[in-house]
Amino acid sequence: MSHLLEVNHLQTHFKTPDGILRAVNGVSFTVDAGETLAIVGESGSGKSVTSMSILGLVSDPGKVVGGEILFEGKNLLRLTKKEYRNMRGKAISVIFQEPMTSLNPIFTVGFQISEVLRTHYKLNRKAAKQRAIEMLDTVGIANAEKVYARYPHQLSGGMRQRVMIAIALVCQPKLLIADEPTTALDVTIQAQILELIQKLAKEQNTGVILITHDLGVVAEMADKVAVMYGGEIVEHASVEQIFHRPSHPYTQGLLASLPKIHEDEQRLYSLPGTVPNLLESSEGCTFAPRCKFASEACLQSKPRLALQGEQHWVSCLKAEEVRG
């Protein structure tokens, strides 16, 4: 069975005055229709650059230098700029983390939703307006007809994010990329927004890539999880396997750093050391300098993702020892 999206050995590099920064370094994963893949990791791990690479939005000094991105069997890296533009917003949509910078302040929210429909479906103004109002209603905005005529600054943060969801899903895309979609929102609104994304994606059988550092969100939303570290995927498995049988020391560290309600000790766990410098090419495992399981072999030999169980991939020479 072919996948909706198949990313193979993706490499995205940035030229800097100090050398080549390997932001994404050989990343591979798949997403099926109706499935949610969460990509997790610390800031700077390559999560957002991976999503921008899929969307064709990496600009100078960055460039996709290797691998392939197959969407419904077609390699997106071979598309022209015009073909990419025609696909974005229709077949593949995105929700960014800060709607105030994603929405245009000089146009009404209704115009911005209608414009997506008129661009991709050539609808007339009246039909586009009607569909836009229906979509505002679908994403849970009361008085949709009045909100249609408002500007982004006249709406609350939660309403602006609902507008972003309306824009992203109005064309019923096959793939939705949600990049930290609830970062700027309070906890109550976060839950509502995530529930809305999940509900609409299931109804439309949309594949979802959820980029986040919040493991609570992952547990709630994801079917599969890819854990990124230093521009690479170090573990890839179902959400149950990641939470119950983490097999990479970095994944274990992320889970250990979650606050625990019944823990007597108040001090939160933190991973020792610092994130790797992606300007430097490492012969060994990128996590080895911070890893309590590391041996000499880990410093000299770079591990590859290997199957450690049913659909459970781990990039670690000591995976069995780590899993225990």
Please indicate whether residue 70 or residue 187 has the higher confidence score (pLDDT): 70
Residue 241's pLDDT band (cuts 50, 70, 90): very high
Mean pLDDT in residue range 256-279: 75
Q: How is residue 234 written in tokens?
A: 């170090």
Residue 188: strand, helix, or coil:
helix
Angle value at C-alpha 233, between 227 and 234, nearest 5 degrees: 75
Q: Sign of dihedral through CA atoms 110, 112, 116, 118?
A: positive
List of domains in the chain:
1-82+175-192+201-259 (3.40.50.300), 99-172 (no CATH)
The H or E element spanning position 14 is strand 5-16
Any idea which of 30-44, 156-170, 224-238, 261-275 has the lowest mean pLDDT?
Answer: 261-275
- pLDDT at residue 306 greater than cutoff 80: yes
Q: Is the predicted pLDDT of residue 269 greater than 90, yes or no? A: no
Q: Residue 271 CB: number of other CB atoms within 10 A?
A: 17
Q: Could you give phi then psi for residue 231, rounded to 5 degrees? A: 80, 5
Encode pLDDT of 102-115 as tens digits.
899 999 999 999 99
Give the per-residue pLDDT at 186.
Answer: 80
Q: At 56, which amino acid appears? A: G
Q: How confident is the model at residue 218 (pLDDT cuts 50, 70, 90)?
A: very high
pTM over 0.85: yes
Tokens (6 digits) for 265: 């000790």
* Cα-Cα end-to-end distance for the chain: 34
